[in-house]
Chains A and B, each alone.
Chain A
Amino acid sequence: MQTPTLSSLRTRGVAAAPKREFLAFRLGGEDYAIDILKVQEIRVFDNITRLPGAPDYIKGVLNLRGLIAPVLDLRIKFGFKEVEYGPFTVLIVLHVRDRLVALVVDAVADVVALSEGEIKPPPEFATCVNIEYVMGLGARGERMLILLDIEKLISSQELGLFDAEQPALASDPAS
């Protein structure tokens, strides 16, 4: 059944097991990675318009070739102590559930290919990220990669990026 996909062909060294590619980036001192298929582009951190009344982790909105996308700073959401905007600060533009969302990150590191076997289950111990949004752990050299389930995170009620869906509210268990 394993017809090679375009992404698996692109990975360096053809492995026996199919590999998934992740975009690794740095948030604060930690390394994170997300499914590269969700990434549309990477841009400089610039030209962001503040959004009134938005939570602090929404930095504002951005013009993406005529479409308006919110800019999300996960460092603030995750409660990192130091949040800096430097020359390496970039935006990862994600395409998730038919929407565009830009993610502020300290730096983009690399594209990492991982086979299913290389992905370890999420740890029991607490990280900055709610464990719900971690789909596993990987390794890049010596460093640990936290693999984020970015789709789940972006569409979570907690972030409030989407207008609350009516049915979800209506079906509150009354019993």
Chain B
Amino acid sequence: MAVDLTRFLPMFFQETEEHLAAMEAHLLRLDPRAPDPEALHSIFRAAHSVKGNSTIFGASRFSEVMHRIETILDHMRKEELAPTHDVVSVLLEACDGVREQLRLLKGSGESRPEALQSVYDRLTQLTLSEAVRDGASGDDATAPTSRRSERFRVEVHLPSGHSITALPLADLYAELGAIGRVEDFKAGDGTADTAALSLVLLTAETQDVVHAKLATLLGADRVRVEHQKTLPAAAAPSSDRLPPPAASTGTTEYGLFVGEQSTLDSRTQTGDLFAQTGVFGGKDYGRRSADQDPGHSGFGRRATDRVHLDRSSIRVDVDKVDRLLNLVGELVIAQSMLAEAARSGPASNALLRDSVAYVGRQTRDLQDAVMSIRLLPIEFLFSRMQRTVRDLAQRLGKDVELTTQGGDTELDKEIIEKLADPLMHLVRNAVDHGIEPPAVRAAAGKEARGTVQLRATHRGGGIVVEISDDGAGFDREKILRKAQERGIRVHTGMSDEDVWQLTFAPGFSTADQVSDVSGRGVGMDVVKRNVVALGGNIDVYSRTGAGTTITIRLPLTLAILEGMTVEIGGESFIIPLSFISEAFLPRAGQVKTIASGPQVVRVRDSYVPLITLEELLHIRPTSAGAEDSILVMVEAEGRHAALAIDRLLGQQQVVIKSLESNYRRVPGIAGATVLGNGRVALILDVNALMRGHLIPVERLEELEAGADA
């Protein structure tokens, strides 16, 4: 009857991560003065779920940490504790700690649960200090009264010549009385090598807390707090360890997945437990859905930022969705073949034509619906940025607020995942380099609190994500200077837009990023490359002194691409439209061959390399030479090139298919798609084609000089 729990581990990981993310999102939104009871409730529920699940899997450390969080949340709900900045910080840290352990477990199957000790202690401290003040112990099994006290030796040292009468003794006694019980109080003999005061304190507080409390009274350098080692077992410092888990499975081991009873290998025990709770985490779910507003459980409903965290959903393997997408794609092709047949058939059959048209509409709706399964609200990404901004601002001593707009805008899951790093980079840049320190802002007549705004909107079949700040903006002079240092050709008369574009140049300002304060552009080329790889593009607008806005345009999904179908050597190829700037028929003499062999095309005032797919892909074009072909101008990574093709067949949306799932990566080819006639067409990897086709700058300069003359 033993249930193999390992089967459910991926689910456990995923659920725990989701709960942690939900906790974090709610925590970041808590208003310290008036916390939203519903939000507190949500955090509590999430913590409770993690606790329950962790117990099932024998991850008792997680349960213990979550139990502490629950206790703290409980205090908050009873308004005994305010979610101040510090309190929230500890809670966030706890989430991070658990997440980190989860990551380790997932990766190597091993974790270092002892790493959670310090955050656990701080959580404990929070519950204690609060409970002591209120005199409330509650029903909590691990509440302060049950925590084992320990003895500390406290010594107060004074510089020679000072008398203990100079100390605020009355306050000291009062403080000590509040923390614990004083034993063995001794006044020193007044010499410099012995303590002026020495006492033994029996307390439930940790060493750090005792020290901190006394230090505020007496001065940090005068107080020494040590574990009392001379006393026997009763005062042994073992109480510094975690107490047995509250929702204990009877185990005395605290390690994750280790220990005799909580180990996954002894499945009967955990298996029974599993059976008792019914389905995985079942008891928590019942409660969760009961608490949920039924109005928000529908799929596809536009939800407000907060609600979607609780929205009900099912978890489906992405492969299943992709399979569905494939089948629908095939249906679309079948439908177009049917439509073709109906058109070319006997003209009298109007009913058939109508039916086919009807099927066509339904098919497209179906395709849209299936596509939308892969879409997720971008809020998932935005809420992570809250944390980044908060932590970074704190570290830099800045006051920064992150506001978000359009978090419910939906994007392909894969794009969201791949956008995370670039967006994080830009947000960090905005806080680090954009927003000035409060004093500077005040001097510039701005509000001391800087604002970073994240905005997502639908625009023309795609998504636009904007990161704007009201900081210092780019420093034009500095960018120009740096560009020059990097050997980029600049001149002082360049328009601002062109100057801002320089920050995207490969390698721009990566070298001295530490000392770099005003000139941004740290790794902007990497950001741009990532965005372009997603089929998007990025733009920057900045006004010195007023702030910077970075605009990222992205396709809705990676599964579909807007492409130009072209014919080369009798085969159809797709060129992603986002790379194409224009197409034209070359005039005589416009194509030149430079000495070593490569061909170039003169376009307006510059020369660009000509890429013939013949040599790269071993496909022979039907046209006799480049001058008989159509040239398609493409742009990638800031470089231009011309592709020679035989025919333009038209623009269409194509569903991207992988070649790798059944074959292998093919150089120069980004993927494949199925055309309306059922044939496979390959999608050109413009980036890769251009990388193999660089013309040295000096050669181009030579040519340009020649052309000018």
Decide whether A and B are members of one complex. Answer: yes
Contact size range, A: 20 to 34
Task: Please state if A50 and B679 are interface contacts (CB–CB under 8 Å).
Answer: no
Contacts of A47 in B (CB 8 A): 677-680
Contact with B along A45-61 (1 / 0, CB 8 A): 00101111110000011
Cβ-based interface call for B106 (8 A): no
Contacts of B616 in A (CB 8 A): 52
Task: Please state if B613 and A69 are interface contacts (CB–CB under 8 Å).
Answer: no
Cβ-based interface call for A113 (8 A): no
Task: Please state if A62 and B664 are interface contacts (CB–CB under 8 Å).
Answer: no
Cβ-based interface call for B661 (8 A): yes
| A161 touching B663 in the complex, CB below 8 Å, given contacts A51-B682, A53-B618 | yes
Contacts of B572 in A (CB 8 A): 49
Task: Please state if B619 and A67 are interface contacts (CB–CB under 8 Å).
Answer: no
In chain B, what residue has the closest Cβ to A102? Answer: B662
Of A50, A60, A65, A162, the residue contacting B664 (CB under 8 A) is A162
Task: Please state if B659 and A67 are interface contacts (CB–CB under 8 Å).
Answer: no
Cβ-based interface call for B368 (8 A): no
29 sampled A-B residue pairs with Cβ under 8 A: A47-B679, A47-B680, A49-B572, A49-B672, A49-B680, A50-B571, A51-B663, A51-B682, A52-B613, A52-B666, A52-B668, A52-B682, A53-B618, A61-B680, A63-B678, A63-B679, A66-B326, A67-B326, A67-B657, A68-B657, A68-B658, A68-B659, A68-B672, A68-B674, A68-B680, A69-B663, A99-B661, A100-B662, A160-B664
A21-B571 Cα distance, complex, nearest whole Å: 39
Cβ-based interface call for B259 (8 A): no
Task: Please state if B329 and A54 are interface contacts (CB–CB under 8 Å).
Answer: no
Contacts of A51 in B (CB 8 A): 663, 666, 669, 682
| A49 touching B679 in the complex, CB below 8 Å, given contacts A54-B666, A67-B326, A68-B672 | yes
Contacts of A65 in B (CB 8 A): 326-327, 330
Contact with A along B24-44 (1 / 0, CB 8 A): 000000000000000000000
Task: Please state if B662 and A49 are interface contacts (CB–CB under 8 Å).
Answer: no
Interchain Cβ contacts within 8 Å, total number? 82
Task: Please state if B669 and A68 are interface contacts (CB–CB under 8 Å).
Answer: no
Contacts of B91 in A (CB 8 A): none
Which B residues, 588 to 634, have Cβ-Cβ distances below 8 Å to chain A?
A: 613, 616-619
Cβ-based interface call for A70 (8 A): yes
Task: Please state if A101 and B662 are interface contacts (CB–CB under 8 Å).
Answer: yes
In chain A, what residue has the closest Cβ to B671? Answer: A68
Which B residues, 60 to 91, have Cβ-Cβ distances below 8 Å to chain A?
A: none
Residue total for B at the interface (Cβ-Cβ under 8 A):
32
Which A residues, 14 to 71, have Cβ-Cβ distances below 8 Å to chain B?
A: 47, 49-54, 60-63, 65-70
Contacts of B663 in A (CB 8 A): 51, 61, 68-70, 99, 161-162
Task: Please state if A61 and B327 are interface contacts (CB–CB under 8 Å).
Answer: no
Q: Report A95 CB to chain B, min CB distance, Å.
A: 10
A51-B613 Cα distance, complex, nearest whole Å: 12
Task: Please state if B657 and A66 are interface contacts (CB–CB under 8 Å).
Answer: yes
Q: Report A112 CB to chain B, min CB distance, Å.
A: 27
A70-B657 Cα distance, complex, nearest whole Å: 13
| A62 touching B680 in the complex, CB below 8 Å, given contacts A52-B613, A52-B669, A68-B662 | yes
Q: Report B228 CB to chain A, min CB distance, Å.
A: 56
Task: Please state if A161 and B664 are interface contacts (CB–CB under 8 Å).
Answer: yes
| A53 touching B664 in the complex, CB below 8 Å, given contacts A61-B672, A63-B674, A68-B657 | no
Cβ-based interface call for A163 (8 A): yes
A66-B328 Cα distance, complex, nearest whole Å: 9
9 closest Cβ pairs, A-B complex: A52-B617, A66-B326, A49-B680, A70-B663, A163-B664, A66-B330, A69-B662, A63-B674, A99-B662
A153-B679 Cα distance, complex, nearest whole Å: 27
Q: Report B680 CB to chain A, min CB distance, Å.
A: 4
Contacts of A162 in B (CB 8 A): 663-664
| A163 touching B660 in the complex, CB below 8 Å, given contacts A51-B666, A66-B327 | yes
Cβ-based interface call for B186 (8 A): no
Q: Report A19 CB to chain B, min CB distance, Å.
A: 31
Contacts of B138 in A (CB 8 A): none
Task: Please state if B679 and A67 are interface contacts (CB–CB under 8 Å).
Answer: no
In chain B, what residue has the closest Cβ to A60? Answer: B680
Task: Please state if A52 and B674 are interface contacts (CB–CB under 8 Å).
Answer: no
The interface centre, meaning the residue of B618, B666, B672, B680 with most chain A CB atoms within 10 A of its CB, is B680
Q: Report A68 CB to chain B, min CB distance, Å.
A: 5
Contacts of B681 in A (CB 8 A): 49
Contacts of A60 in B (CB 8 A): 680
Cβ-based interface call for B665 (8 A): yes
Cβ-based interface call for B667 (8 A): yes
A49-B571 Cα distance, complex, nearest whole Å: 7
Contacts of B664 in A (CB 8 A): 160-163
Contacts of A68 in B (CB 8 A): 657-659, 661-663, 672, 674, 680
In chain B, what residue has the closest Cβ to A50? Answer: B571
Contact with B along A141-175 (1 / 0, CB 8 A): 00000000000000000001111000000000000
A46-B658 Cα distance, complex, nearest whole Å: 21
Contacts of A69 in B (CB 8 A): 662-663
Which A residues, 50 to 108, have Cβ-Cβ distances below 8 Å to chain B?
A: 50-54, 60-63, 65-70, 99-101
A61-B668 Cα distance, complex, nearest whole Å: 16
A50-B619 Cα distance, complex, nearest whole Å: 9
Contacts of B571 in A (CB 8 A): 49-50
Q: Report A91 CB to chain B, min CB distance, Å.
A: 14
Contacts of B674 in A (CB 8 A): 63, 66, 68
A53-B678 Cα distance, complex, nearest whole Å: 23
Contacts of B665 in A (CB 8 A): 163
Contacts of A61 in B (CB 8 A): 659, 663, 672, 680, 682
Task: Please state if B618 and A52 are interface contacts (CB–CB under 8 Å).
Answer: yes
A50-B568 Cα distance, complex, nearest whole Å: 11
A68-B662 Cα distance, complex, nearest whole Å: 7
Which B residues, 638 to 667, have Cβ-Cβ distances below 8 Å to chain A?
A: 657-667
The interface centre, meaning the residue of B617, B662, B669 with most chain A CB atoms within 10 A of its CB, is B662
In chain A, what residue has the closest Cβ to B327? Answer: A66
Task: Please state if A67 and B662 are interface contacts (CB–CB under 8 Å).
Answer: yes
Task: Please state if A66 and B329 are interface contacts (CB–CB under 8 Å).
Answer: yes
Contacts of A67 in B (CB 8 A): 326, 657, 661-662
Known: A47-B680, A54-B666, A65-B327. 12 other contacts (CB 8 A): A49-B572, A49-B679, A51-B663, A52-B619, A52-B668, A61-B663, A65-B326, A66-B326, A66-B674, A67-B326, A70-B663, A161-B663
